[in-house]
Structure 1
Amino acid sequence: MAPVEDDQDVGQDQLDEEFSVWKKNTPFLYDFVISHPLEWPSLTVQWVPLATPLPHSTDPSSFSVHKLVLGTHTSDDSPNYLLIADAVLPTSVAEAKIDTSGSSTNSVTPKVEITQKIRVDGEVNRARSMPQNPAIVGAKTSGCEVYVFDSTKQAERKQRNGCDPDLRLTGHDKEGYGLSWSPFKQGYLVSGSHDNRICFVGWCLPVLKIKCLGELAKFMK
């Protein structure tokens, strides 16, 4: 087992060295870069179609807060979470050229910060927010069901009791990675899995009280 562990250590050392070299050269490659280490890998990431001015800032027009949706892919039976993050970004490339030496009078620091963790069953393969209501997030995990969460309600719940989605969508027999909300019709969601099925559901927000909903249409290859 020792040679395998040694190979893994060498591989990680090489990755760390390559990342360090890349990080040093980012000023020559990009106008602006923020890096944020995650505790676990994420197989999914999405910009939420919503941006707000930065509160409590001396110049709110220079920075805005964007939201990101991510998910964990853990190991060793560690719990998995749907992650909501805030990204504080400058509104222009000019604002991005910030003095990082500390001499700047601007107190705002661009950053990415995890603001909410929602417990899910299984690794998060794909997570997408509803365009018409970004607080509603759908998640496909390593299980068969599709989970739908209202992040505003989840923030009030204790996450110690495991996965408690606002809605469970059934219809698949295997896990998958396909998930997309309709940009034209609120509440329309399609999902695809390794069972060669595409499931379609359509619902209105009050249906979140039902907790479990089957597909309206199912297409098989």
Structure 2
Amino acid sequence: MEPMEVEPEVVQMEEDSPEVTTSIDEQTQRGYRIWKKNAPFIYDYLSTNSLLWPSLSVQFFPDVTHINHKESLESEETQESNEEIIAQRLLHGTFTLGQAVDSISILQIPTFKNLNQNIKINKLDYNPDKEELEFSPSSNNKSKVLQKINHLGDVNKVRYMPQKPDIIASANNLGDVVIYERTRHKSFKNSLIDDTDISKAEIRLSNSILPSKTDIFALDWNQNQEGLLLAGDMNGVISLYDLKEYSTPELEQCRYFENDTGINDIEWFPTHDSLFSTVDDKGTVKIYDTRQNDAVICSQKISEHGVDSISMNPGFSSGIATGDSQGVIKIWDLRAFKQSSQPVKQMNAHTDSITQLYWHPKYSNVLASSSSDHSVKFHNVSNEETCFFTHLGHMLGVNDFDWSYADDWMVASVADDNSLHVWKPSHTVTDRFKTA
């Protein structure tokens, strides 16, 4: 990868991803070193963190804390400088395949509101082993674990309720969906002895008619009606739960739907409380209306391959994006979806399966995608040349990513190489999207 011809920006790398991992081939490791040397030219911000286990989920909490402080140093110039730090919280879970006790964690990721104005050149340390200058963040600017909730089975998907972020739903590899009330669980404390007791869930959700015994990867909260949760398993059973009906620690489905193959992804329409869509292993997109007895109002086979991800455009109500196991992204207009199986746009975006798609929450023509090919890409779907930025810092497949609430272009991503990256492309790349 050649360096981009832009003005270099200071990059914060808090804790490097591993240089050598037994499952990572030499070519990938060499590509990572090239990427890291070029990183100051292509990012306004970059923080790489090594996790103990891979994560399949990551999500920014909506709250943003602003912290103003002055460093207590002798320099008068430093004493007069005011550093504004933004503290963001991140939700993620472990994927250990039974090798350890799994857990859901809440991390605090602090960043300078304006990183480049707060970098002090005299604090750059030369690392002779890497032959690089490194910025060593202060203790106020390091990531930390705020809370850890021990979890039964792999954390396949974890998401908080939009209306009440302290309510967290998690799905595992055993067919379980559980609800945790974060404030009822203790904060994280460093200890020489690991706490291995499974944390008790506040609510266990179950389908009393077709109980799930397999992986659940599809999980989504309704953004418009509090407490509505959808879960789809790899046997094709979709369960709808209404937490307003909660009265005992066991809550049964208020409705369920059957599909003829596994559900890979599920998503409520962002502007509706009754419509949702699914994609499955047979390459089919289905749209459901929970108000109707025959809930499937549209079913369209869009690929000969499995479709792994779907995303509804929050800024354009009839726009959806789908990503399949071959790395192909298709953009659809729901107004013509029943009449035509032809997408509005098709992009051969990745060389391996699409793992996640998310439209930008503010710019309706920007779509981000992650893939098993180790990359996260930003696409401008209104242009012929769609991809305008690629994050290549992960050395194994990227499982999930999320947009930050604090910054229009900040993203968190997690991958199979145990890495968690928080990053922001150079403003020279994103300034074109500024609104008047």
Q: Same fold (TM over 0.5)?
A: yes
Which stretches in structure 2 are left out of the alignment for 5+ residues? 1-20, 71-80, 125-134, 189-193, 260-436
**Contact 2:147 2:187 (C-alpha < 8 Å) held by counterparts:** no
Q: What is the alpha-carbon distance in structure 1 between the residues aligned to residue 90 and residue 44 of structure 2? A: 21
Encode CA deviations 1:21-59: one digit per residue, 9 max, x unaligned: 3223211111110111001100111111111223x7338
Output the CA distance in 1 between the equivalents of 2:234 and 2:205: 16
1:117 and 1:28 map into 2 onto residues whose CA distance is 36
**Quick one: distance in 2 between partners of 1:101 and 1:152?**
42
Q: CA deviation at 1:145?
A: 1.3
SS of structure 2 residue aligned to 1:134: coil
Structure 1 counterpart of 2:32, which letter? F
Quote the residue 1:176 is aligned against: 216
Aligned residues, how many? 209
Structure 1 residues 10, 190: CA separation in 2 closer, same or farther (over 3 Å shift)? closer
- The corresponding residue for 2:232 is 192
**Residue 149 (structure 1) aligned with residue 187 (structure 2):** no
Is 2:227–2:242's contact at 8 Å kept on the other side of the alignment? yes
Provide structure 1 residue ranges, at least 5 long, that are not aligned to the other structure. 1-7
Query: d(CA) in 1 for partners of 2:63 and 2:250?
Result: 28
Deviation of the 1:160 alpha carbon: 3.8
Q: Compared with structure 1, are the counterparts of its residues 100 and 87 closer, same or farther at alpha carbon in structure 2 (3 Å cutoff)? A: farther
Q: Which residue of 1 aligns with 2:93?
A: 71
Tell me which of 166, 176, 184 is aligned to 2:202: 166
The structure number with the bigger radius of gyration is 2
Partner secondary structure for residue 32 of structure 2 = helix
What SS does the aligned partner of 2:47 have?
coil
Asked if 2 retains the 8 angstrom alpha-carbon contact of 1:34 and 1:110, the reply is: no
Q: Percent identity?
A: 24
Summarize deviations over 1:55-93 as a string: whole Å, max 9, x none: x73388822211111111114531101111111123346
Matches for 1:99-118 after TM superposition, within 5 Å: 99=120, 101-102=122-123, 110-118=141-149
> Normalized per residue, which structure has more helix?
1
Shift of 1:142: 0.8
CA distance, structure 1, for counterparts of residue 93 and residue 22 of structure 2: 26
Q: Against the structure 1 CA distance between its residues 220 and 83, is the aligned structure 2 distance closer, same or farther, given a 3 Å change threshold?
A: same
C-alpha distance in structure 2 between counterparts of 1:118 and 1:151, whole Å: 8
Q: 2:151 is matched with which residue? A: 120
Q: 1:18 Cα deviation (Å)?
A: 3.3
Which stretch has the larger CA shift, 168-177 or 124-133?
168-177
Structure 1: distance between partners of 2:228 and 2:122:
48
Please list every run of at least 4 consecutive aligned residues from structure 1 whose deviation after the TM superposition is greater than 6 angstroms: none
> 2:151 matched to 1:129?
no
Contact 2:98-2:153 within 8 A present in 1 as well: no
Q: Is the 8 A contact 2:146 2:187 kept in 1?
A: no
Query: 190, 211, 218: which one pairs with 2:249?
Result: 211
Contact 1:145 1:168 (C-alpha < 8 Å) held by counterparts: yes
8 Å CA contact retained: 2:98, 2:154: no
Q: CA deviation at 1:13?
A: 4.9
**Matched residues in 1 for 2:69 and 2:110: separation?**
12
- Contact 1:34–1:112, Cα closer than 8 Å, also in 2: no
Paired position in structure 2 for 1:45: 58
Q: What is the root-mean-square deviation in Å for CA atoms of aligned residues?
A: 3.0
Deviation at 1:98?
2.6
Structure with the higher strand share, 1 or 2: 2
Q: Alpha-carbon deviation of 1:190?
A: 0.9
